[in-house]
Amino acid sequence: MNTPTLSIYHPNARNTGAAIRIALVKPRPIERSDDFYDGYLVLTIAPQATAGEFPAFDWDNGINVPLYFTEMSMMLAVFRGVHESIQDDKGVWISRPNGERIILRLRHIIEPLSGYSLEVFQKKGNDVSCSAHILLSDIEAFGLCSAIESSIGRVAFGD
C-alpha cells in the first residue's frame, strides 16, 4: 500500500522549478519493548526534470528531509508568525548516520512578493552536494501549516 502524501508542484518554462512531497511515518513499537520509534514526516524536495506541457520532477534525486517533532515545531513557528525564519535564517541542521548533513531553511518573505521560502541543502563534508528551493504562496503555506499541525500529535503519540 502506498503512503498518502501531500504534493505541491511549481514548474516553470525555464526548467528551474521544484516540487515538494510530504508523507507521515507513524511511530511504531520496538520489538520486545514498550518503547516506540518516533514518528516523523518525510519532506522530499525535487528539482524540475522537464519543462513543457507536462513537466516532470526528479523525485529519484530529490532530497529527503526527516521532520521530527522539533523541526515540525520550528516550521509551525514560522508559518504562524512567531518567528520570521528558522533559527534567525540559519536553519536547522539534520545529521544522517552516513555523515551527510541536511540544512533546512524556512523564512517568511514579503518582497518581491509575499510567501515562504523553503530551501534545502545536502552537504557531504564541507561541500554542498545538492540543493533545492521552492517559494510557497501564503495559501500553500496556510495549507501546509494545517497539515503539519494535524500530524504533530500523531508523530508525538501515535494513533
Q: What is the mean pLDDT of the chain?
A: 89
Q: Could you tell me the pLDDT band of residue 67, with boundaries at 50, 70 and 90?
A: very high
Set of cell numbers at residue 82: 512567531
Beta strands in 1-158 (DSSP E): 5-10, 18-25, 40-50, 56-57, 63-67, 92-95, 101-109, 115-124, 127-136
Set of cell numbers at residue 30: 520496538
- Give the CATH number, domain containing residue 38: 2.30.31.10
Q: Helix, strand or coil for residue 65?
A: strand
Q: Measured between alpha carbons, how far is residue 148 from residues 71, 141, 156, 159 in Å?
A: 10, 10, 12, 15
The predicted pLDDT at position 126 comes to: 76
pLDDT at 155 over 60: yes
The predicted pLDDT at position 46 comes to: 95
Set of cell numbers at residue 8: 505541491
Nearest-10 Cα torsion for 152, 99, 4, 107? 60
Q: Which domain holds residue 139?
A: 5-157
The predicted pLDDT at position 130 comes to: 82
pLDDT at 66 over 80: yes
* pLDDT tens column, 18-56: 999 999 988 776 665 555 567 899 999 999 999 888 999
The predicted pLDDT at position 23 comes to: 95
Q: Measured between alpha carbons, how far is residue 147 from residues 51, 91, 93 in Å?
A: 29, 21, 22
The predicted pLDDT at position 35 comes to: 57
Q: Could you tell me the pLDDT band of residue 10, with boundaries at 50, 70 and 90?
A: very high
User: Who has greater pLDDT, 60 or 130?
Assistant: 60
The predicted pLDDT at position 159 comes to: 67
Per the structure, how many domains does the chain have?
A: 1
pLDDT at 1 over 70: no
Alpha-helical segments (H) within 64-124: 69-79
* pLDDT tens column, 70-104: 999 999 999 999 999 999 999 999 988 788 899 99
